[in-house]
Amino acid sequence: EVASLGVQVYGGHGYIREWGMEQLMRDSRITQLYEGTNGIQALDYIRRKLLGDGGAELSALQAEFSEICDGQVDRPALRELASRVQARIGEWRELTAEVIAATQRDPQEIGAVSVDFLQYSAYVLLAGFWLQAAAKAQDALDAGTGEETFYQAKLASADFYLRRVLPRASAHREAILGGAGCLMALDEESFAF
């Protein structure tokens, strides 16, 4: 996404070799292909990692990030960030339970939810990492670091992520809850026009 935005900044020049943006765009695209495409990785995430142990490992990860949130609620500078992340972790837990139940009721749900569940999980997980980074930055500021501008930028970046990027997770949640039915609603003859 950042590479694509870089192409946009350069306009038509972003598409030609002169500035190197087109190379960055091509190079960034490969990350969604090697080691298995995003779709294959998403199916693996559901089949082997989530359903394989009934969500136990994911639940442990969610608990770990929930503890990080709990450790920040008494810090005024981080309270709001921690609260936002904690709310998403709670939503992630609920969504995980719904995905497990849906895939057990109907195997078609595995393919229907996999990519959106991977994306949702990534957005929330990254929010947890941003909270960790913000906590480290606040620790440095509280200790009187000589790099105040650097650490203030970390706090601002964490706030930006939680306000402007994390809300994208909601679209993936809605898609997951939409179920597999609409994906299979058309019969084969409907595509013969």
> Tokens standing for 24?
């960055």
3-state helix, strand, coil in the chain (%, to 5): 80, 0, 20
Q: What is the per-residue DSSP string for 15-61?
A: GSGGGSHHHHHHHHHGGGTTTS-HHHHHHHIIIIIITTTTTHHHHHH
Do residues 119 and 170 lie in contact, with contact meaning Cβ atoms separated by under 8 Å?
A: no
Separation between Cα atoms, residue 119 and residue 39, nearest integer Å: 11
Q: Give residue 187's region: left, alpha or beta (phi > 0; psi -120 to 50).
A: beta
Separation between Cα atoms, residue 147 and residue 178, nearest integer Å: 47
- The catalytic site residues sit at 35
Do residues 91 and 173 lie in contact, with contact meaning Cβ atoms separated by under 8 Å?
A: yes
Task: Indicate the SS3 state at residue 71.
Answer: coil
Q: Which of 110, 127, 114 is nearest to 163 (CA)?
A: 127
